């Protein structure tokens, strides 16, 4: 997976810079300094690449139980939003999906290509975007005085983020395999609840332990 790090950083830089140029240069005034990223932007880009690599690596920790396998990917997707924030979480998932669509073996079990997106698990992959967004939006504030409040908020954000994956996931699973809702729930939701609860505990522990350091790193404190 380390072999993909230069690609991840390049794609992250490219996507972020295009976004900056579009926002800052709507009047088509191109300036050299607009192409220069400041230190904070570079740090955000590096974190985006790191989270993308972790999300990709998580796809290799797989437990095949049916058309939708259990993977560690979701843990890192939620963590990218909780620790990195809304933008870094979204960018990490976008780069991850682009790599997979381009054919790199970053989807579950080392799969890649657009066929995976079009298959039964495609909805879950698209749900990663919702998960990163929910995690980043809900857990935006860090209460330095109340550890209990941080634990509660992180737990709520992690649970809602994990649940949001199933919105497009179950819908597309039902359509792609021609299932009724009962069958879709039995193979696409119920087997994953224990693992999601366990991953939520791990995510909350990591978030409470690392959030302050990540915030300081991103704010150059």
CATH code, 153: 1.10.1760.20
The model's pLDDT over 45-94, given as tens digits with 9 standing for 90+, comes to: 899 999 999 999 999 999 988 889 999 999 999 999 999 999 999 999 99
Count of CA atoms in the C-beta half-sphere (13 A) of 159: 10
- Distance between CA atoms of residues 57 and 73, nearest Å: 7
Mean pLDDT for the stretch of residues 33-50: 75
Number of independent structural domains in the chain: 1
Q: Which domain holds residue 25?
A: 2-218
CB-CB contact of 185 with 170 (8 Å):
yes
Mean pLDDT of the chain: 85
Please give the structure tokens belonging to residue 188.
Answer: 């696409």
DSSP letter (8 states) at residue 219: T
Prediction pTM value = 0.81
3-class DSSP assignment, residue 189: coil
For position 4, what pLDDT does the model report? 54
């Amino acid at each position: 997976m380390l072999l993909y790090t230069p690609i991840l950083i390049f794609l992250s830089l490219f996507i972020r810079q295009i976004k900056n140029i579009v926002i800052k240069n709507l009047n088509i005034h191109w300036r050299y300094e607009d192409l220069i990223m400041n230190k904070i932007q570079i740090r955000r880009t590096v974190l985006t690449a790191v989270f993308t690599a972790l999300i990709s690596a998580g796809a290799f920790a797989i437990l095949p139980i049916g058309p939708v396998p259990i993977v560690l990917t979701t843990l890192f997707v939620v963590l990218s939003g909780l620790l990195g924030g809304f933008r870094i979480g979204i960018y990490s998932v976008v780069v991850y999906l682009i790599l997979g669509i381009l054919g790199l073996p970053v989807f579950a079990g080392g799969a890649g290509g657009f066929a995976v997106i079009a298959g039964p698990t495609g909805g879950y992959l698209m749900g990663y975007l919702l998960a990163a967004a929910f995690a980043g939006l809900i857990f935006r504030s860090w209460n330095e005085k109340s550890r209990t409040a941080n634990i509660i908020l992180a737990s709520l954000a992690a649970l809602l983020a994990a649940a949001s994956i199933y919105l497009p996931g179950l819908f597309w699973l039902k359509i792609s395999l021609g299932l009724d809702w009962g069958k879709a729930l039995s193979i696409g939701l119920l087997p994953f609840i224990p693992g999601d609860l366990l991953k939520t505990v791990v995510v909350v522990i990591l978030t409470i332990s690392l959030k302050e350091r990540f915030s300081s790193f991103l704010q150059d404190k």
